[in-house]
Structure 1
Amino acid sequence: MAGANHIDDPIRSILVATDGSDSAKDALERGLQLAEATGANVHILSVVDTTSNPMRFGVADVAELHETRERVVDEIVAAIDNRDIEVHGSIRRGHPASTILTYADENAIDLLVIGRTGRGRVAEALLGSTADRLVRQASIPVIVVPADEDRDEDGRQNDSSH
């Protein structure tokens, strides 16, 4: 992983975490733009959350979730194929934030790009969010891309989502 200062560190690898949502797609596009501009490779990671309510899912359900995430990542990698970017796709199981951070550490990721859902501050304060945890716990820079519904027609942040 890059050094502690990060300001002068080159961006060689970008991790885009995805759950297939619209905000994750926006984050992917931002990550790809950055990769094209910097020559970085891109890692696409989707995490099957097996920790939020272990009684909710049986083994077959987790396997189905894994297969669904695998299809999402495979489709993303296939769609990126026409761009001049080295892409790696992966699916992991576990707690989303800690799994993403572990993957970033194992793969010497320099920058993390994630989407943010349109939930307001109260929901995030009560529930916590993967984006919030990543911003607080990551040892590398994190770019959080707001969902389209969080932006006005000019692309600026909407005050109504705060």
Structure 2
Amino acid sequence: METVVVGVDNSDASTRAVEFAVERARHNDWKVVLVHVVPWSPYSFQTASENEHRHREKERELAAATEQVLVPMARIAEDGGVPHSEVVRHGKPSDTITDVARETGAVHVIVGRTGDGGLREAVFGSVASRLVQHAHLPVTVVP
């Protein structure tokens, strides 16, 4: 059984990407790995006080992302009857999605065209754009 990674966030485009992946997974006997990345850089500048609380805050962010993003997306896969798993991590979204694809032996990445990245992504480029340019495997961008 081949694996396909689907990058997800809290956007309508992400929901469409999961629906697209689930439909194809049913026909192609794929396992779907849903990946949500909480943007974070280990190189960000923080005060000593912030560093003391960062671990707890990261754990809270992961739990919130699981509940608010991954659980609803996993329901789509469950309703579609396809095997799936969920991954939530901190990092740079495009790099982390690629890392998970490599770790799981995925043969394909699927993402929505627009996500909830906001102005920063509009100025510096989208996750989908970075994946298309730098991923080591095929990437499908769902409008």
TM-score greater than 0.5 by the shorter chain: yes
Give the aligned partner of residue 66 of structure 2: 70
Alignment check: 8 A CA contact 2:38 2:61 kept: yes
Separation in 2, partners of 1:137, 1:112: 12
What residue ranges of structure 1 are gaps of 5+ in the alignment?
Answer: 1-10, 147-162
What secondary structure does 1:48 align onto?
strand
Q: CA deviation at 1:65?
A: 2.6
Q: CA deviation at 1:67?
A: 1.7
Which one-letter code corresponds to 1:106 in the other structure? Answer: E
Q: CA deviation at 1:143?
A: 0.4
RCO higher in structure (CA 8 A, sep ≥6): 2
What secondary structure does 2:10 align onto?
coil
Give the aligned partner of residue 102 of structure 2: 105
Separation in 2, partners of 1:61, 1:53: 16
- Structure 1 residues 115, 53: closer, same or farther in 2, change over 3 A? farther
Alignment check: 8 A CA contact 2:18 2:76 kept: no
TM-score (norm 1): 0.71
Separation in 2, partners of 1:66, 1:21: 18
Separation in 2, partners of 1:69, 1:136: 27
Alignment check: 8 A CA contact 1:52 1:95 kept: no
Q: CA deviation at 1:93?
A: 1.1
Q: CA deviation at 1:82?
A: 3.2
Give the aligned partner of residue 152 of structure 1: none
Separation in 2, partners of 1:79, 1:145: 16
Q: CA deviation at 1:28?
A: 0.6
Count of aligned pairs between the two proteins: 133
Separation in 2, partners of 1:13, 1:63: 27
What secondary structure does 2:59 align onto?
helix
What residue ranges of structure 2 are gaps of 5+ in the alignment?
Answer: none
Give the aligned partner of residue 139 of structure 1: 136
Separation in 2, partners of 1:142, 1:114: 8
- From the two aligned structures, give the one with the greater helix fraction: 2
What stretches of structure 1 move > 3 A for 4+ residues in a row?
Answer: 52-58, 60-64, 123-126
Map 1:31-70 to 2 at 5 A.
Answer: 31-51=21-41, 54-55=44-45, 59=54, 61-70=57-66
What secondary structure does 1:90 align onto?
strand
- Identity between Structure 1 and Structure 2 (%): 27
